[in-house]
Amino acid sequence: MLKVNMIRHGKTYGNSRGRYIGTTDEPLLLEEAEALRRYAFEETDQVFASPLMRCVQTAEILFPGQEPCLIPEFAECDFGKFENKNYQELSDNPDYQKWIDSGGTLGFPGGESMVEFQERCLAGMERVVAMSYEKDWEEIALVVHGGTIMSILGAYGFPKQDYFEWHVNNGEGYRVRFSPEAFCRGSRELVVDGKIVRSEE
């Protein structure tokens, strides 16, 4: 049985302003980096991360001394014309209103569709599971984006919940367990044991 800690990266400037930060490669806020040091984990068999700076920095803080294996498929969604803007800045944009009215199911203008993004994230998870099965690891960590976590658990998480119900705050995540062998044979159920929650500052 493989244990997985799925953790969303720490807060960036764009996150603090409620912006859609996908392909924008922002660093962590300095105060956030300091705060995260209080939550460092013990060593795990392998740390995987999105290649974007905010995830790499978070991984290095939470798992000191362990170099993360970067998984390009785990990068955040390309928000296209909505990138680096918040809802106030987009409030007069008709494309944004259409996206809101669709319940977030429409593709992002000039960016990815939700289906493309989710399929990419799941392909990355498949790669990670195959590596874990081959190496016979017992515990790993994924330091990724909120959308990445929601994509994986929206498809495979148990108990079953919709994509948006798996949302977590910056620096938080989920503890998950599953059988890599069964996963590789087609049983894709990831059992969610609980949230990883930061205490109040």
Look at strands 173-178 and 190-196 and give their pairing.
Answer: antiparallel
In this predicted structure, what is the pLDDT of residue 201? 46
Backbone dihedral angles phi then psi of residue 196, each to the nearest 5 degrees: -100, 110
Query: In terms of Cα–Cα distance, which of 192, 186, 127, 100 is closest to 153?
Result: 192
In this predicted structure, what is the pLDDT of residue 106? 84
- For residue 83, the 8-state DSSP code is T
CATH number for the domain spanning 63: value is 3.40.50.1240
Long-range contacts of 26-30 (CB under 8 A, 24+ apart): 26/53, 26/54, 27/53, 27/54, 27/57, 28/53, 28/54, 28/57, 28/58
CA distance linking residue 103 with residue 155, whole number of Å: 18
In this predicted structure, what is the pLDDT of residue 199? 67
In the chain, the number of structural domains is 1
**Structure confidence by residue, pLDDT tens digits, 27-80:** 999 999 999 999 999 899 999 999 999 999 999 999 999 999 999 999 999 999
CB atoms within 10 A of CB 144: 30
Maximum separation of any 2 CA atoms in the chain, in Å: 52
Is the Cβ–Cβ distance between 57 and 34 less than 8 Å? no
In this predicted structure, what is the pLDDT of residue 125? 97
Residue type, 34: E
In a domain, 169, yes or no: yes
- Helical ranges in 40-113 per DSSP H: 53-62, 87-90, 94-101
In a domain, 29, yes or no: yes
pLDDT 10s per residue in the chain (201 long)? 999 999 999 999 999 999 999 999 999 999 999 999 999 998 999 999 999 999 999 999 999 999 999 999 999 999 999 999 999 999 899 989 988 888 878 889 999 999 999 999 999 999 999 999 999 999 999 999 999 999 999 999 999 999 999 999 999 999 999 999 999 888 999 999 999 998 654
Q: What are the angstrom distances between the C-alpha of 142 and each of 7, 15, 150, 182, 200?
A: 6, 20, 13, 20, 23
Is the Cβ–Cβ distance between 108 and 81 less than 8 Å? yes
| SS3 call for 96 | helix
In a domain, 201, yes or no: no
Query: Could you tell me the residue range of the domain that residue 122 belongs to?
Result: 2-196
